[in-house]
Structure 1
Amino acid sequence: MAGGAGRKPRGILFDKDGTLFDYHGTWGPILVEAAEMAARERRDLVPEMLSVIGFDPATARVAAGSIAGAGDTFGLVDAWITIAGGWERAALIAALDGLFIRLAPERSLPVTDLPVFFRGLKDREIRTGIATNDVAESARATILRFGLETYIEFSAGYDSGHGQKPGPGMALAFCAAVGLAPHEIAVVGDNSHDLEMGRRAGAALNIGVLTGTSGRDDLAPLADHVIGSIAELPALLDELGG
Protein backbone atom coordinates (compact mmCIF):
# COMPACT_ATOMS: atom_id res chain seq x y z
CA MET A 1 0.00 0.00 0.00
CA ALA A 2 1.02 3.57 -0.61
CA GLY A 3 1.95 5.98 2.18
CA GLY A 4 -0.37 8.48 3.84
CA ALA A 5 -2.92 5.91 4.99
CA GLY A 6 -3.67 7.71 8.24
CA ARG A 7 -4.23 11.22 6.96
CA LYS A 8 -7.69 12.73 6.74
CA PRO A 9 -8.39 14.65 3.52
CA ARG A 10 -9.76 18.17 3.15
CA GLY A 11 -10.70 17.47 -0.47
CA ILE A 12 -11.69 14.33 -2.37
CA LEU A 13 -11.40 13.85 -6.12
CA PHE A 14 -13.62 11.06 -7.46
CA ASP A 15 -13.45 9.09 -10.64
CA LYS A 16 -16.88 8.95 -12.26
CA ASP A 17 -17.64 5.62 -13.93
CA GLY A 18 -17.03 2.59 -11.78
CA THR A 19 -16.77 4.79 -8.70
CA LEU A 20 -19.89 6.94 -8.47
CA PHE A 21 -21.71 4.79 -11.03
CA ASP A 22 -21.74 1.04 -11.58
CA TYR A 23 -19.38 0.51 -14.49
CA HIS A 24 -20.65 -2.67 -16.10
CA GLY A 25 -24.34 -1.82 -15.85
CA THR A 26 -23.80 1.69 -17.18
CA TRP A 27 -21.16 1.29 -19.85
CA GLY A 28 -21.67 -2.24 -21.17
CA PRO A 29 -24.75 -1.33 -23.25
CA ILE A 30 -23.24 2.03 -24.26
CA LEU A 31 -20.07 0.39 -25.57
CA VAL A 32 -22.11 -2.07 -27.63
CA GLU A 33 -24.08 0.79 -29.15
CA ALA A 34 -20.87 2.74 -29.79
CA ALA A 35 -19.29 -0.22 -31.59
CA GLU A 36 -22.40 -0.72 -33.71
CA MET A 37 -22.35 2.94 -34.70
CA ALA A 38 -18.65 2.86 -35.56
CA ALA A 39 -19.10 -0.34 -37.59
CA ARG A 40 -21.92 1.28 -39.61
CA GLU A 41 -23.42 -1.46 -41.76
CA ARG A 42 -20.74 -4.03 -40.85
CA ARG A 43 -22.36 -5.51 -37.74
CA ASP A 44 -20.17 -8.60 -38.21
CA LEU A 45 -17.22 -6.46 -37.06
CA VAL A 46 -18.77 -5.60 -33.69
CA PRO A 47 -17.57 -8.69 -31.75
CA GLU A 48 -13.95 -8.05 -32.80
CA MET A 49 -14.27 -4.35 -31.98
CA LEU A 50 -15.56 -5.11 -28.50
CA SER A 51 -12.95 -7.79 -27.87
CA VAL A 52 -10.02 -5.54 -28.77
CA ILE A 53 -11.07 -2.97 -26.15
CA GLY A 54 -11.52 -5.56 -23.41
CA PHE A 55 -15.30 -6.02 -23.40
CA ASP A 56 -16.79 -9.52 -23.39
CA PRO A 57 -20.34 -9.47 -24.82
CA ALA A 58 -21.04 -12.96 -23.43
CA THR A 59 -20.57 -11.82 -19.83
CA ALA A 60 -21.15 -8.07 -20.37
CA ARG A 61 -17.97 -7.49 -18.35
CA VAL A 62 -15.05 -5.16 -18.97
CA ALA A 63 -11.52 -6.29 -18.22
CA ALA A 64 -9.52 -4.36 -15.63
CA GLY A 65 -6.98 -2.00 -17.17
CA SER A 66 -8.43 -2.41 -20.66
CA ILE A 67 -9.21 0.37 -23.14
CA ALA A 68 -12.89 0.00 -22.29
CA GLY A 69 -12.24 0.11 -18.57
CA ALA A 70 -9.49 2.69 -18.27
CA GLY A 71 -9.11 4.47 -21.58
CA ASP A 72 -10.64 7.49 -23.27
CA THR A 73 -12.20 8.23 -26.64
CA PHE A 74 -8.78 8.50 -28.27
CA GLY A 75 -8.01 4.93 -27.20
CA LEU A 76 -11.33 3.63 -28.50
CA VAL A 77 -10.86 5.33 -31.84
CA ASP A 78 -7.31 4.10 -32.30
CA ALA A 79 -8.45 0.55 -31.53
CA TRP A 80 -11.48 0.66 -33.80
CA ILE A 81 -10.58 2.75 -36.80
CA THR A 82 -8.42 0.14 -38.50
CA ILE A 83 -11.09 -2.51 -37.97
CA ALA A 84 -14.12 -0.49 -39.00
CA GLY A 85 -12.43 1.59 -41.69
CA GLY A 86 -13.96 4.44 -43.64
CA TRP A 87 -13.63 6.98 -40.83
CA GLU A 88 -11.49 10.04 -40.46
CA ARG A 89 -10.04 9.94 -36.95
CA ALA A 90 -11.42 13.33 -35.91
CA ALA A 91 -14.87 12.44 -37.23
CA LEU A 92 -15.03 9.19 -35.26
CA ILE A 93 -13.84 10.96 -32.09
CA ALA A 94 -16.60 13.54 -32.53
CA ALA A 95 -19.23 10.87 -33.24
CA LEU A 96 -18.32 8.80 -30.19
CA ASP A 97 -18.13 11.79 -27.88
CA GLY A 98 -21.53 12.92 -29.13
CA LEU A 99 -22.95 9.49 -28.36
CA PHE A 100 -21.43 9.47 -24.88
CA ILE A 101 -22.71 12.98 -24.12
CA ARG A 102 -26.20 11.85 -25.09
CA LEU A 103 -26.30 8.42 -23.46
CA ALA A 104 -24.06 8.42 -20.38
CA PRO A 105 -25.94 10.97 -18.24
CA GLU A 106 -29.33 9.31 -18.75
CA ARG A 107 -28.08 5.71 -18.37
CA SER A 108 -25.67 6.08 -15.46
CA LEU A 109 -26.55 3.80 -12.52
CA PRO A 110 -25.46 5.34 -9.20
CA VAL A 111 -23.90 3.02 -6.64
CA THR A 112 -25.60 4.88 -3.76
CA ASP A 113 -27.86 7.90 -3.15
CA LEU A 114 -25.41 10.45 -4.50
CA PRO A 115 -27.06 13.68 -3.28
CA VAL A 116 -27.18 12.27 0.26
CA PHE A 117 -23.60 11.01 -0.04
CA PHE A 118 -22.20 14.33 -1.24
CA ARG A 119 -24.28 16.30 1.24
CA GLY A 120 -22.61 14.28 3.97
CA LEU A 121 -19.17 15.19 2.64
CA LYS A 122 -20.12 18.85 2.46
CA ASP A 123 -21.28 18.68 6.08
CA ARG A 124 -17.76 17.51 6.91
CA GLU A 125 -16.41 20.57 5.03
CA ILE A 126 -14.73 18.35 2.44
CA ARG A 127 -14.30 19.87 -1.02
CA THR A 128 -15.19 17.50 -3.86
CA GLY A 129 -14.56 17.08 -7.57
CA ILE A 130 -14.80 14.59 -10.43
CA ALA A 131 -12.01 13.54 -12.79
CA THR A 132 -12.97 11.21 -15.64
CA ASN A 133 -11.53 9.92 -18.88
CA ASP A 134 -15.03 10.42 -20.29
CA VAL A 135 -15.72 13.60 -22.27
CA ALA A 136 -16.06 16.69 -20.04
CA GLU A 137 -19.51 17.64 -21.32
CA SER A 138 -20.81 14.20 -20.39
CA ALA A 139 -19.47 14.63 -16.86
CA ARG A 140 -21.12 18.05 -16.50
CA ALA A 141 -24.43 16.71 -17.80
CA THR A 142 -24.27 13.79 -15.38
CA ILE A 143 -23.64 16.14 -12.45
CA LEU A 144 -26.75 18.10 -13.42
CA ARG A 145 -28.79 14.95 -14.09
CA PHE A 146 -28.27 13.76 -10.51
CA GLY A 147 -28.54 17.17 -8.85
CA LEU A 148 -24.92 17.28 -7.68
CA GLU A 149 -24.02 20.77 -8.86
CA THR A 150 -24.47 22.15 -5.33
CA TYR A 151 -21.80 19.82 -3.97
CA ILE A 152 -19.24 19.18 -6.69
CA GLU A 153 -16.92 22.14 -7.21
CA PHE A 154 -14.74 20.79 -10.02
CA SER A 155 -15.13 18.41 -12.93
CA ALA A 156 -12.77 17.50 -15.73
CA GLY A 157 -12.74 15.08 -18.62
CA TYR A 158 -10.05 13.80 -20.95
CA ASP A 159 -10.66 16.83 -23.17
CA SER A 160 -10.52 19.54 -20.47
CA GLY A 161 -6.92 20.46 -21.15
CA HIS A 162 -5.39 18.86 -18.04
CA GLY A 163 -4.22 15.68 -19.78
CA GLN A 164 -5.59 12.20 -19.32
CA LYS A 165 -5.22 9.71 -16.51
CA PRO A 166 -2.90 8.32 -15.26
CA GLY A 167 -1.18 11.68 -15.59
CA PRO A 168 -1.48 14.01 -12.58
CA GLY A 169 -3.03 16.96 -14.44
CA MET A 170 -6.65 16.59 -13.40
CA ALA A 171 -5.75 16.07 -9.75
CA LEU A 172 -3.49 19.11 -9.74
CA ALA A 173 -6.19 21.17 -11.46
CA PHE A 174 -8.66 20.12 -8.75
CA CYS A 175 -6.22 21.28 -6.08
CA ALA A 176 -5.82 24.63 -7.80
CA ALA A 177 -9.60 25.02 -8.20
CA VAL A 178 -10.40 24.44 -4.53
CA GLY A 179 -7.29 25.97 -3.01
CA LEU A 180 -5.76 22.84 -1.52
CA ALA A 181 -2.32 21.28 -1.75
CA PRO A 182 -1.99 17.74 -3.12
CA HIS A 183 -1.08 16.40 0.33
CA GLU A 184 -4.51 17.60 1.54
CA ILE A 185 -6.59 15.56 -0.90
CA ALA A 186 -7.68 11.98 -1.49
CA VAL A 187 -8.31 10.33 -4.85
CA VAL A 188 -11.03 7.67 -5.08
CA GLY A 189 -11.31 5.39 -8.10
CA ASP A 190 -11.97 1.91 -9.40
CA ASN A 191 -8.96 1.53 -11.67
CA SER A 192 -5.19 1.61 -11.44
CA HIS A 193 -5.05 4.73 -13.62
CA ASP A 194 -7.11 6.64 -11.03
CA LEU A 195 -4.74 5.67 -8.24
CA GLU A 196 -1.66 6.31 -10.38
CA MET A 197 -3.00 9.81 -11.06
CA GLY A 198 -3.28 10.39 -7.34
CA ARG A 199 0.18 9.07 -6.59
CA ARG A 200 1.80 11.12 -9.36
CA ALA A 201 0.03 14.24 -8.10
CA GLY A 202 1.18 13.62 -4.51
CA ALA A 203 -2.28 12.97 -3.03
CA ALA A 204 -2.31 12.10 0.67
CA LEU A 205 -4.67 9.17 0.16
CA ASN A 206 -5.50 6.86 -2.72
CA ILE A 207 -8.65 4.81 -2.16
CA GLY A 208 -9.81 2.00 -4.41
CA VAL A 209 -13.42 0.89 -4.81
CA LEU A 210 -14.77 -2.42 -6.12
CA THR A 211 -17.78 -1.12 -8.09
CA GLY A 212 -15.85 -0.94 -11.36
CA THR A 213 -13.65 -3.18 -13.45
CA SER A 214 -10.87 -3.94 -10.96
CA GLY A 215 -10.57 -6.45 -8.16
CA ARG A 216 -8.93 -5.96 -4.78
CA ASP A 217 -5.68 -7.50 -5.99
CA ASP A 218 -5.56 -5.03 -8.89
CA LEU A 219 -5.95 -2.02 -6.62
CA ALA A 220 -4.15 -2.97 -3.42
CA PRO A 221 -0.58 -2.28 -4.66
CA LEU A 222 -1.49 1.35 -5.43
CA ALA A 223 -4.09 2.02 -2.76
CA ASP A 224 -3.89 3.09 0.86
CA HIS A 225 -7.34 1.56 1.36
CA VAL A 226 -9.66 -0.60 -0.75
CA ILE A 227 -13.37 -0.46 0.08
CA GLY A 228 -16.43 -2.10 -1.43
CA SER A 229 -17.99 1.14 -2.63
CA ILE A 230 -18.13 4.84 -1.85
CA ALA A 231 -20.97 4.01 0.56
CA GLU A 232 -18.22 2.79 2.92
CA LEU A 233 -16.23 6.02 2.63
CA PRO A 234 -17.88 7.91 5.53
CA ALA A 235 -16.94 5.09 7.91
CA LEU A 236 -13.36 5.20 6.64
CA LEU A 237 -13.25 8.96 7.15
CA ASP A 238 -14.46 8.43 10.71
CA GLU A 239 -11.57 6.05 11.28
CA LEU A 240 -9.18 8.67 9.92
CA GLY A 241 -10.68 11.36 12.12
CA GLY A 242 -12.32 13.15 9.19
Structure 2
Amino acid sequence: MEIKGILFDKDGTLLQFREIWIQITYEIIDELLDSMEDKGNTALKEQLCDSIGLRNGKVDEKGYLASGTSVDIAESFQQVLPHAKPHLHQWLSERLLKKTREHIDNVKPVCDLSLLFSSLKHKGIIVGIATADDYETTKLCLQQLGIEDAVQFLGTADLYKKKPYPEVVEEFCKKFLLKKEEVVIVGDTIIDMQLAKNSSVRFGVGVMSGVGSYRELNPLADFIISSVDDLIDENNRFIWE
Protein backbone atom coordinates (compact mmCIF):
# COMPACT_ATOMS: atom_id res chain seq x y z
CA MET A 1 0.00 0.00 0.00
CA GLU A 2 1.33 3.43 -0.97
CA ILE A 3 2.52 5.82 1.76
CA LYS A 4 0.49 9.02 1.64
CA GLY A 5 1.27 10.78 4.92
CA ILE A 6 4.23 11.38 7.24
CA LEU A 7 4.01 12.57 10.84
CA PHE A 8 7.26 14.11 12.04
CA ASP A 9 8.35 14.71 15.60
CA LYS A 10 9.79 18.22 15.93
CA ASP A 11 12.67 18.55 18.43
CA GLY A 12 15.67 16.45 17.51
CA THR A 13 13.96 15.35 14.31
CA LEU A 14 13.43 18.57 12.36
CA LEU A 15 15.32 21.01 14.55
CA GLN A 16 18.53 20.56 16.51
CA PHE A 17 17.54 19.74 20.07
CA ARG A 18 20.67 20.71 21.98
CA GLU A 19 21.08 24.04 20.18
CA ILE A 20 18.12 25.53 22.04
CA TRP A 21 16.39 23.44 24.70
CA ILE A 22 19.21 22.81 27.15
CA GLN A 23 19.98 26.51 27.49
CA ILE A 24 16.30 27.43 27.74
CA THR A 25 15.73 24.80 30.42
CA TYR A 26 18.57 26.07 32.58
CA GLU A 27 17.29 29.64 32.28
CA ILE A 28 13.73 28.65 33.17
CA ILE A 29 14.89 26.71 36.21
CA ASP A 30 16.93 29.73 37.34
CA GLU A 31 13.84 31.93 36.97
CA LEU A 32 11.74 29.40 38.85
CA LEU A 33 14.19 29.38 41.75
CA ASP A 34 14.24 33.18 41.72
CA SER A 35 10.43 33.29 41.84
CA MET A 36 10.50 30.91 44.81
CA GLU A 37 13.14 33.07 46.54
CA ASP A 38 15.59 30.20 46.26
CA LYS A 39 18.03 31.85 43.87
CA GLY A 40 21.48 30.33 44.16
CA ASN A 41 20.21 27.05 45.61
CA THR A 42 22.45 24.80 43.53
CA ALA A 43 21.26 21.60 45.22
CA LEU A 44 17.62 22.33 44.38
CA LYS A 45 18.57 23.36 40.85
CA GLU A 46 20.31 20.02 40.38
CA GLN A 47 17.23 18.20 41.71
CA LEU A 48 14.96 20.07 39.31
CA CYS A 49 17.23 19.28 36.39
CA ASP A 50 17.49 15.64 37.39
CA SER A 51 13.70 15.33 37.71
CA ILE A 52 13.30 15.92 33.96
CA GLY A 53 16.41 14.07 32.80
CA LEU A 54 18.97 16.85 32.46
CA ARG A 55 22.26 15.89 34.07
CA ASN A 56 25.54 17.76 33.63
CA GLY A 57 24.37 19.26 30.35
CA LYS A 58 23.31 15.89 28.95
CA VAL A 59 19.75 14.82 28.20
CA ASP A 60 18.40 11.45 29.29
CA GLU A 61 16.60 10.07 26.23
CA LYS A 62 13.93 8.60 28.51
CA GLY A 63 13.43 11.77 30.55
CA TYR A 64 10.74 14.41 30.30
CA LEU A 65 13.02 16.99 28.71
CA ALA A 66 13.53 14.58 25.82
CA SER A 67 9.92 13.71 25.15
CA GLY A 68 7.65 14.98 27.91
CA THR A 69 5.00 17.69 27.73
CA SER A 70 4.98 20.99 29.59
CA VAL A 71 2.48 19.35 31.98
CA ASP A 72 4.92 16.50 32.64
CA ILE A 73 7.75 18.93 33.33
CA ALA A 74 5.63 21.13 35.59
CA GLU A 75 4.47 18.12 37.60
CA SER A 76 8.04 16.88 37.96
CA PHE A 77 9.17 20.29 39.17
CA GLN A 78 6.28 20.49 41.63
CA GLN A 79 7.30 17.18 43.21
CA VAL A 80 10.80 18.52 43.86
CA LEU A 81 9.98 22.02 45.08
CA PRO A 82 9.92 22.41 48.89
CA HIS A 83 6.48 24.01 48.71
CA ALA A 84 3.80 24.31 46.05
CA LYS A 85 3.95 26.99 43.38
CA PRO A 86 0.41 27.91 42.29
CA HIS A 87 -0.36 27.67 38.55
CA LEU A 88 3.09 26.25 37.82
CA HIS A 89 2.07 24.75 34.47
CA GLN A 90 0.70 28.05 33.21
CA TRP A 91 3.85 29.83 34.41
CA LEU A 92 6.05 27.25 32.68
CA SER A 93 4.13 27.39 29.38
CA GLU A 94 4.44 31.17 29.30
CA ARG A 95 8.16 31.00 30.02
CA LEU A 96 8.75 28.36 27.35
CA LEU A 97 7.11 30.54 24.71
CA LYS A 98 8.93 33.66 25.92
CA LYS A 99 12.30 31.91 25.99
CA THR A 100 11.75 30.40 22.56
CA ARG A 101 11.21 33.91 21.19
CA GLU A 102 14.34 35.14 22.95
CA HIS A 103 16.45 32.27 21.59
CA ILE A 104 14.76 31.98 18.21
CA ASP A 105 18.09 32.26 16.37
CA ASN A 106 19.07 28.96 18.00
CA VAL A 107 16.16 27.16 16.34
CA LYS A 108 18.20 25.47 13.64
CA PRO A 109 17.24 22.71 11.19
CA VAL A 110 18.92 19.32 11.19
CA CYS A 111 19.29 19.53 7.39
CA ASP A 112 17.95 21.46 4.38
CA LEU A 113 14.30 21.18 5.36
CA SER A 114 13.09 23.38 2.50
CA LEU A 115 14.52 20.90 0.00
CA LEU A 116 13.10 17.91 1.89
CA PHE A 117 9.61 19.35 2.22
CA SER A 118 9.63 20.46 -1.40
CA SER A 119 10.41 16.86 -2.38
CA LEU A 120 7.63 15.56 -0.14
CA LYS A 121 5.16 17.98 -1.70
CA HIS A 122 6.24 16.93 -5.18
CA LYS A 123 5.60 13.31 -4.20
CA GLY A 124 2.13 14.21 -2.93
CA ILE A 125 2.90 13.38 0.71
CA ILE A 126 0.69 14.94 3.38
CA VAL A 127 2.96 16.28 6.12
CA GLY A 128 2.11 16.62 9.78
CA ILE A 129 3.80 17.26 13.12
CA ALA A 130 3.31 15.14 16.25
CA THR A 131 5.14 16.84 19.11
CA ALA A 132 5.16 16.99 22.90
CA ASP A 133 5.39 20.78 22.68
CA ASP A 134 2.53 23.27 22.88
CA TYR A 135 0.87 24.78 19.82
CA GLU A 136 2.19 28.35 19.98
CA THR A 137 5.78 27.28 20.64
CA THR A 138 5.59 24.78 17.78
CA LYS A 139 4.24 27.39 15.37
CA LEU A 140 7.05 29.76 16.32
CA CYS A 141 9.68 27.09 15.64
CA LEU A 142 8.17 26.10 12.28
CA GLN A 143 8.12 29.75 11.21
CA GLN A 144 11.80 30.09 12.07
CA LEU A 145 12.59 26.89 10.18
CA GLY A 146 10.71 28.24 7.15
CA ILE A 147 8.40 25.23 6.85
CA GLU A 148 5.18 26.45 8.48
CA ASP A 149 3.31 26.56 5.16
CA ALA A 150 4.52 23.07 4.23
CA VAL A 151 3.04 21.47 7.35
CA GLN A 152 -0.63 20.58 6.94
CA PHE A 153 -1.33 19.22 10.42
CA LEU A 154 -0.11 20.33 13.85
CA GLY A 155 -0.53 17.67 16.51
CA THR A 156 0.65 19.28 19.74
CA ALA A 157 0.35 18.08 23.33
CA ASP A 158 -2.07 20.85 24.32
CA LEU A 159 -4.48 19.82 21.54
CA TYR A 160 -4.28 16.03 21.65
CA LYS A 161 -3.50 13.32 24.15
CA LYS A 162 0.26 13.12 24.49
CA LYS A 163 2.42 10.62 22.66
CA PRO A 164 2.54 7.62 22.63
CA TYR A 165 -1.26 7.59 22.83
CA PRO A 166 -2.53 7.17 19.25
CA GLU A 167 -5.06 10.03 19.26
CA VAL A 168 -2.83 12.38 17.25
CA VAL A 169 -2.41 9.74 14.53
CA GLU A 170 -6.11 8.99 14.47
CA GLU A 171 -6.95 12.67 14.01
CA PHE A 172 -4.32 13.03 11.28
CA CYS A 173 -5.80 10.08 9.41
CA LYS A 174 -9.35 11.30 9.95
CA LYS A 175 -8.62 14.79 8.66
CA PHE A 176 -7.00 13.61 5.44
CA LEU A 177 -8.98 10.37 4.94
CA LEU A 178 -5.88 8.23 5.33
CA LYS A 179 -5.58 4.64 6.41
CA LYS A 180 -3.05 4.00 9.15
CA GLU A 181 -1.20 1.69 6.77
CA GLU A 182 -0.59 4.73 4.56
CA VAL A 183 1.20 6.68 7.31
CA VAL A 184 4.83 6.80 8.50
CA ILE A 185 6.01 8.28 11.81
CA VAL A 186 9.50 9.78 12.04
CA GLY A 187 11.12 10.68 15.35
CA ASP A 188 14.21 10.58 17.54
CA THR A 189 12.90 8.95 20.73
CA ILE A 190 11.40 5.67 21.85
CA ILE A 191 8.16 7.56 22.55
CA ASP A 192 7.90 8.26 18.82
CA MET A 193 8.51 4.63 17.96
CA GLN A 194 6.00 3.53 20.60
CA LEU A 195 3.51 5.89 18.98
CA ALA A 196 4.11 4.16 15.67
CA LYS A 197 3.44 0.75 17.26
CA ASN A 198 0.45 1.88 19.31
CA SER A 199 -1.25 3.48 16.31
CA SER A 200 -0.45 0.62 13.91
CA VAL A 201 0.98 2.86 11.19
CA ARG A 202 2.97 1.34 8.34
CA PHE A 203 6.46 2.28 9.50
CA GLY A 204 8.24 3.92 12.41
CA VAL A 205 11.47 5.60 11.33
CA GLY A 206 14.02 6.49 13.99
CA VAL A 207 16.50 9.30 13.41
CA MET A 208 19.86 9.70 15.12
CA SER A 209 19.85 13.50 14.95
CA GLY A 210 18.28 14.00 18.38
CA VAL A 211 18.57 12.51 21.86
CA GLY A 212 17.64 8.90 21.10
CA SER A 213 20.27 6.17 20.94
CA TYR A 214 20.49 3.36 18.42
CA ARG A 215 20.27 0.85 21.26
CA GLU A 216 16.90 2.19 22.41
CA LEU A 217 15.43 2.91 18.98
CA ASN A 218 16.46 -0.29 17.22
CA PRO A 219 14.02 -2.73 18.90
CA LEU A 220 11.01 -0.60 17.95
CA ALA A 221 11.95 1.14 14.70
CA ASP A 222 11.39 -0.32 11.24
CA PHE A 223 14.21 1.85 9.90
CA ILE A 224 16.94 3.94 11.53
CA ILE A 225 18.60 6.77 9.61
CA SER A 226 21.07 9.51 10.48
CA SER A 227 18.56 12.30 9.91
CA VAL A 228 15.42 13.12 7.93
CA ASP A 229 17.78 14.07 5.10
CA ASP A 230 18.11 10.33 4.46
CA LEU A 231 14.39 9.66 4.04
CA ILE A 232 14.81 10.05 0.28
CA ASP A 233 17.88 8.56 -1.39
CA GLU A 234 19.98 9.80 -4.31
CA ASN A 235 17.59 8.05 -6.70
CA ASN A 236 14.65 10.04 -5.30
CA ARG A 237 13.20 6.98 -3.63
CA PHE A 238 12.00 6.63 -0.05
CA ILE A 239 13.99 4.29 2.17
CA TRP A 240 11.00 1.92 2.37
CA GLU A 241 10.59 1.63 -1.40
- TM-score, normalized by length of structure 2? 0.89
Which of the residues 88, 100, 103 maps onto 2:99? 103
**RCO comparison, higher one (Cα < 8 Å, 6+):** 1
Matched letter for residue 16 of structure 2: D
In the alignment, structure 1 residue 62 sits paired with structure 2 residue 59: yes
* Alignment RMSD (CA, Å): 1.7
Q: Percent identity?
A: 27
CA displacement 1:136-160 (0-9 Å, x = unmatched): 1111222222221321100121110
Asked whether the equivalents of residues 35 and 46 of structure 1 are also in contact (C-alpha less than 8 Å), the reply is yes
Unaligned runs of 5+ in 1: 1-6
Residue equivalent to 2:201:
203
Give a deviation string over 1:79-126, Cα, whole Å, max 9, x none: 1113333411xx211111112223336132210122222111111111
Structure 2 residues without counterparts, runs of 5 or longer: none
1:220-231 equivalences under 5 Å are: 220-231=218-229
Q: Confirm whether residue 17 of structure 1 aligns to residue 18 of structure 2.
A: no
Shift of 1:239: 4.2
Question: Aligned partners of 2:116 and 2:183: how far apart in 1?
Answer: 18
Query: What is the aligned partner in structure 2 of residue 120 from structure 1?
Result: 119
How many residues matched?
A: 230
Q: CA deviation at 1:174?
A: 1.3
For 2:154 and 2:131, the matched residues in 1 are separated by: 8
| SS of match in other structure, 1:155 | strand
Q: Report the Cα offset of residue 8 of structure 1.
A: 5.1
**What amino acid is the match of 2:189?**
N
Matched residue SS, 2:162: coil
Q: Name the structure 1 match of 2:71.
A: 74
CA contact (8 A) 1:163 1:170 kept: yes
Once residues 144 and 93 of structure 1 are traced to their aligned partners in structure 2, the CA distance between those partners, rounded to angstroms, is 25
Pair 1:205–1:237, CA change in 2 (3 A): farther
SS at match of 1:166: coil
Secondary structure at 2:132 match in 1:
coil
Partner amino acid, structure 1, of 2:96: F
Q: Report runs of 4+ in structure 1 exceeding 2 Å deviation.
A: 82-86, 102-105, 144-147, 236-241
> Match for 2:238: what amino acid?
D
Does structure 2 retain, via aligned residues, the 8 Å contact 1:139–1:156? no
The whole-number CA distance in structure 2 between the counterparts of 1:27 and 1:8 is 36
CA–CA separation in structure 2 for the residues paired with 1:237 and 1:56: 40
Question: Are the aligned partners of 1:100 and 1:135 in contact in 2 as well (CA < 8 Å)?
Answer: no
In the TM superposition, residue 55 of structure 1 has moved relative to its aligned partner by 0.5
2:65 and 2:75 map into 1 onto residues whose CA distance is: 12
Aligned amino acid, residue 8 of structure 2: F
Give a deviation string over 1:66-88, Cα, whole Å, max 9, x none.
Answer: 11112111111111113333411
Q: Distance in 2 between matches of 1:114 and 1:102?
A: 25
Q: Does 1:183 align with 2:181?
A: yes
Q: Residue in 2 aligned with 1:3?
A: none
